[in-house]
Amino acid sequence: MGEATRDQVQRSNGKVETSHHPETDQKRDDKNYYGIPPIKRAHWTWQIPIYFWLGGIGAGTQLFATIAQLLGHKDEALKRVSRYTVLATMLLSPVLLIWDLGRPERFYNMLRILKLRSPMSTQSWSLFAFGNLGGLVAARQAAEDGLLGDNTLSRLVIRLVPDRLLNVLALPFGLFVGFNTGNLISATSVPIWARNWMLMGPTFLTSGLSTALSWLSLVLHLGRWGEAKTLRILHRAEKATILMEAALIAASLIRMGRWSKPLFSKEVAPLFVGGTLLGGVLAPFVLLSGEERRSRSMLASVLALAGGLAFRSSLILAGRQSADDPEAYFTFASGESAPQPEDNV
Amino acid sequence: MATGFLTDTTVCIGCKACEVACKQWNQLPADGYELTGDSYDNTKQLSGTTWRHVAFIENPKKRRLTGDVDLVALAEDVTEPLPGGAELDALGRWAFMSDVCKHCVAAPCQQACPTGSIIRNEFDNVYIQPDICNGCGYCVPACPYGVITKVPHDGRAFKCTLCYDRQKDGLEPACAKACPTESIQFGEVEDLKARAEERVQELHDKGYTQAYVWGTPEVGGTGGIGGNHAKFILMDEPETYNLPRHPFLPQEKVKGGVIASAVAATVLGAVVALAFRD
């Protein structure tokens, strides 16, 4: 060490000064690497929340329509609307999902294997099953409605397609599509999603049912097709479902704990607090609780439908922030908070 | 036979030969000229086009050099009291760590992959079959170490293959071959485990008691992952190297989630059925 340096060291009270001295650098006190996210976020953009939303509507519609059929509730308009709804959601969902792929031309590889541990794999298969069964039922409906023309094929479809049996078979696959959208995001390393593994599926399914009931009641009101009794049943079911949805969202927030913070960030709060909690849950419930009127009911339906989409979008956006936050991941993956094999339901 | 890496950060000099060798051998595209302004590290992280990444860590706790510092003694690895009351703490003022895919024993990316593109090959390495991957990207948020990303313009997900092609020809991976200090060692997992324990013991004996192996079933491979085939010898807390302490296998809870959801579905069915009662 040179004489000059030695002097400098002694003057600076024994501390060596270097050009890279970090003592003034705030970042060095953090327990992370320059704030670079330790995990990578999902690439999902707008297609995925819309798919989650459509899948939920399809699942809830299937649940309501099948129960109506099993209980012997005869309403042609309800039957027609619900069957075409399932068909439409199951036609649009694969389009959105294939659009989202990096190599869309290889979409069929989704059905190359069945992997029970991969929610993406089971989701693909249940969509495939639900879409085909729902499609067959919708084909029979189309034949009954005369959309296939008056010919042998049409009569054959009506004779050969057992709609009751197919509806019952489609129900579990439909429900699976509905709740697995939640389980799909939970089975990742993203703290806000993974933390809520138990309630994510139930919350998504309940929210899906609430959007489906709203959709059915909205369409039946709009066309003035529905029987008064059907609308009354829908109204009752909607109210109960929204209550359950509110309870499940509250329980999810408690479960997420400190990792729920992104839902209340500047970017996501308008969608989550405004769009979901106030617009999609509270407002429809207030509207439905009052006097039963067509306009009120329709407004409630529109709000609940928009709220369902806002809920899914806000969770996807919050997941992005959660994955980008090293502090969130490191606190999550440092102790008891992360899901462990020995945890039970 | 399972092969893997042992990355000994205590002898890494941050030359980035591994990064360059990996890019060259695997013909990976450039990531652009992005200057972080944080340190000499401008590749920042692992990704679909960066399969080895050298982290440059400056840590104030570790770089306190007080008193009359004898740089020769520092270079010679001396930890005894130095003349003039000088103190040396840890291995110099920089810490380098060449990060790579951990090749988990129970790999979350493999379990997430819906196409069966991600497999374990004959060397027990986690390998993405590029002719099958359809770019769904579900492996990306599943990885607890942020290793995989989808590559823009290509659409598919990529990560370290542990030089599958070289191993098939009996060669060691490009990064291990290029490493001038043997910071990156390639071999059978069992051998590497023994070597890692031996090296940590050696470091402990020299007075570096903070050294430990990361990537064992206890540290860095917990929560169902069951350890990693790419292990690291670290000198600081895992978070300093951007590594989680107790990562978890996200798919561990899939079954529980389905059971809870099935209960919810039954309840919802009952609620809807009750609504039909007049």
List of residues 6+ apart from B6 with CB closer than 8 A? B184, B185, B187, B192, B195, B196, B230, B231, B232, B233
Element (H, E) at B184: strand B184-188
Closest Cα to residue A84, out of A61, A110, A56? A61
Q: Are B55 and B241 within 8 A, CB to CB?
A: yes
Looking at the fold, whether B168 and B277 belong to one and the same domain comes out as no
Looking at the fold, whether B271 and B215 belong to one and the same domain comes out as no
Residues of A whose CB is below 8 A from B70: 1
User: What single letter denotes the amino acid at residue B262?
Assistant: A
Kindly tell me if the per-residue pLDDT of B238 is higher than 80: yes
Looking at the fold, whether B137 and B58 belong to one and the same domain comes out as yes
Q: Are A190 and A74 within 8 A, CB to CB?
A: no
> What is the distance between the alpha carbons of residues A12 and A20, in angstroms, rounded to a whole number?
16
> What is the distance between the alpha carbons of residues A193 and B254, in angstroms, rounded to a whole number?
12
- CA A18 from chain centre, in angstroms, equals 53
ipTM above 0.95, yes or no: no
Distance in Å, alpha carbon of A142 to nearest chain B alpha carbon:
26
A4-13, A183-192, A214-223, B117-126: the lowest-pLDDT one: A4-13
- Whether B269 contacts chain A with CB within 8 A: yes
pLDDT of residue A12: 43
pLDDT of residue A195: 94
CATH number of the domain residue B157 falls in = 3.30.70.20
Quick one: closest CA in B to A105, which residue? B134
DSSP calls for B100-118: E---BSS-HHHHH-SSS-E
Kindly tell me if the per-residue pLDDT of B15 is higher than 90: yes
CB-closest option in A71, A115, A179 to B276: A71
- Whether A224 contacts chain B with CB within 8 A: no
Residues of B whose CB is below 8 A from A234: 275
Looking at the fold, whether B77 and B196 belong to one and the same domain comes out as yes
Quick one: closest CA in B to A64, which residue? B272
- Whether B14 contacts chain A with CB within 8 A: no
> What is the distance between the alpha carbons of residues A202 and A59, in angstroms, rounded to a whole number?
13
| Residue of A18, A43, A205 to mutate for B, most B C-beta atoms under 10 A | A43
- Whether A64 contacts chain B with CB within 8 A: yes
Element (H, E) at A82: helix A76-100
> What is the distance between the alpha carbons of residues B23 and A196, in angstroms, rounded to a whole number?
39
SS3 call for B213: strand
- Whether A225 contacts chain B with CB within 8 A: no
For chain A, the residue count is 345
Dihedral sign of CA atoms B62, B67, B71, B74 in order: negative
Kindly tell me if the per-residue pLDDT of A318 is higher than 80: yes
Its pTM stands at 0.89
Kindly tell me if the per-residue pLDDT of A7 is higher than 70: no
SS3 call for A108: helix
Q: Report the DSSP beta bridge partners of residue B55.
A: B97
- At residue A6, φ and ψ (nearest 5 deg) are -60, -45
Dihedral sign of CA atoms B254, B257, B259, B265 in order: negative
List of residues 6+ apart from A37 with CB closer than 8 A? A323, A324, A325, A326, A329, B45, B146
HSE of A63, CA atoms in CB hemisphere, 13 A: 35
Kindly tell me if the per-residue pLDDT of A30 is higher than 80: no
Joined together, the tokens standing for residue A215 give 């959709």
CB-closest option in A113, A206, A319 to B116: A113
B268–A335: do the CB atoms touch at under 8 Å?
no
Neighbours of B194 (CB within 10 A): 13
B271–A103: do the CB atoms touch at under 8 Å?
no
Q: Are B45 and A36 within 8 A, CB to CB?
A: yes
Q: What is the pLDDT of residues B242-258, one digit of tens each?
A: 999 989 999 999 999 99
Q: Are A108 and A118 within 8 A, CB to CB?
A: no
Among all chains, which residue has been given the structure tokens 């939303």? A53
HSE of B207, CA atoms in CB hemisphere, 13 A: 9
- At residue A326, φ and ψ (nearest 5 deg) are -60, -40
Kindly tell me if the per-residue pLDDT of B100 is higher than 80: yes
Looking at the fold, whether B223 and B99 belong to one and the same domain comes out as yes
Looking at the fold, whether B207 and B230 belong to one and the same domain comes out as yes
User: What single letter denotes the amino acid at residue A141?
Assistant: Q
Residues within 8 A of B (CB atoms), A 12-31 only: 14-16, 18, 20, 22-23, 25, 27-28, 31
- At residue B21, φ and ψ (nearest 5 deg) are -60, -40
Joined together, the tokens standing for residue A62 give 């299937």
Looking at the fold, whether B31 and B82 belong to one and the same domain comes out as yes
Q: Are B221 and B188 within 8 A, CB to CB?
A: no
A1–B251: do the CB atoms touch at under 8 Å?
no
CB-closest option in A43, A178, A205 to B150: A43
SS3 call for A148: coil
For chain B, what percentages of helix, strand and coil (3-state, to nearest 5) are there? Answer: 30, 20, 50
Kindly tell me if the per-residue pLDDT of B90 is higher than 50: no
Residues of B whose CB is below 8 A from A181: none
Distance in Å, alpha carbon of A135 to nearest chain B alpha carbon:
22
B116–A115: do the CB atoms touch at under 8 Å?
yes
pLDDT of residue B222: 80
Distance in Å, alpha carbon of B236 to nearest chain A alpha carbon:
10
pLDDT of residue A341: 55
Residues within 8 A of B (CB atoms), A 159-218 only: 175, 178-180, 182-184, 186-190, 194, 197-202, 205-206, 209
Q: Which CATH architecture fits A42-325?
A: Up-down Bundle (1.20)
Q: What is the pLDDT of residues B180-217, one digit of tens each?
A: 999 999 999 999 999 999 999 999 998 888 899 999 98
List of residues 6+ apart from A92 with CB closer than 8 A? A54
Q: Are A308 and A280 within 8 A, CB to CB?
A: yes
Q: What is the pLDDT of residues B22-41, one digit of tens each?
A: 999 999 998 888 888 877 88
First to last CA, chain A: 65
pLDDT of residue A6: 45
pLDDT of residue A248: 98
pLDDT interval class at A16 (50, 70, 90): very low
Average pLDDT of the segment spanning A71-85: 96
Average pLDDT of the segment spanning A130-139: 97
pLDDT of residue B92: 47
Residues within 8 A of B (CB atoms), A 301-330 only: 319, 323, 326, 329-330
What are the extents of the domains in chain A?
42-325
Q: Which domain holds residue B264?
A: 252-278
Looking at the fold, whether B223 and B258 belong to one and the same domain comes out as no
Q: Are A188 and A259 within 8 A, CB to CB?
A: no
pLDDT interval class at A29 (50, 70, 90): low
> What is the distance between the alpha carbons of residues B96 and A158, in angstroms, rounded to a whole number?
71
First to last CA, chain B: 68
Q: What is the pLDDT of residues A63-77, one digit of tens each?
A: 999 999 999 999 999
List of residues 6+ apart from B44 with CB closer than 8 A? A34, A36, B34, B36, B53
Share of chain B above pLDDT 90, in %: 72
Q: How many domains are there within chain B?
A: 2
Quick one: closest CA in A to B240, which residue? A32
Among all chains, which residue has been given the structure tokens 């090296």? B199
- At residue B150, φ and ψ (nearest 5 deg) are -80, 140
- Whether B194 contacts chain A with CB within 8 A: no
Quick one: closest CA in B to A213, which residue? B272
| Residue of A20, A34, A41 to mutate for B, most B C-beta atoms under 10 A | A34
CB-closest option in A16, A323, A339 to B248: A339
Average pLDDT of the segment spanning A88-109: 97
Average pLDDT of the segment spanning A24-49: 81
Mean pLDDT score of chain B: 89
Residues of B whose CB is below 8 A from A120: 112-114, 136, 138
SS3 call for B194: helix
Looking at the fold, whether B59 and B189 belong to one and the same domain comes out as yes
Dihedral sign of CA atoms A257, A258, A263, A266 in order: positive
Residues within 8 A of B (CB atoms), A 244-283 only: 244, 248
Kindly tell me if the per-residue pLDDT of A22 is higher than 60: no
Residues of B whose CB is below 8 A from A338: 223, 246-248
Distance in Å, alpha carbon of A173 to nearest chain B alpha carbon:
11
Closest Cα to residue A200, out of A176, A213, A181, A173? A181
Joined together, the tokens standing for residue B180 give 């001038």
Residues of B whose CB is below 8 A from A107: 134
A28–B58: do the CB atoms touch at under 8 Å?
yes
Share of chain A above pLDDT 90, in %: 83
pLDDT of residue B35: 86
Joined together, the tokens standing for residue B181 give 């200090």
CB-closest option in B137, B145, B273 to A67: B273
Quick one: closest CA in B to A26, which residue? B60
pLDDT of residue A345: 44
Average pLDDT of the segment spanning B71-79: 61
pLDDT interval class at B87 (50, 70, 90): low
- CA A54 from chain centre, in angstroms, equals 9
- Whether A334 contacts chain B with CB within 8 A: yes
- Whether B34 contacts chain A with CB within 8 A: no
Neighbours of B195 (CB within 10 A): 16
For chain A, what percentages of helix, strand and coil (3-state, to nearest 5) are there? Answer: 75, 0, 25
Joined together, the tokens standing for residue B171 give 């060669």
Looking at the fold, whether B103 and B47 belong to one and the same domain comes out as yes
User: What single letter denotes the amino acid at residue B20?
Assistant: V
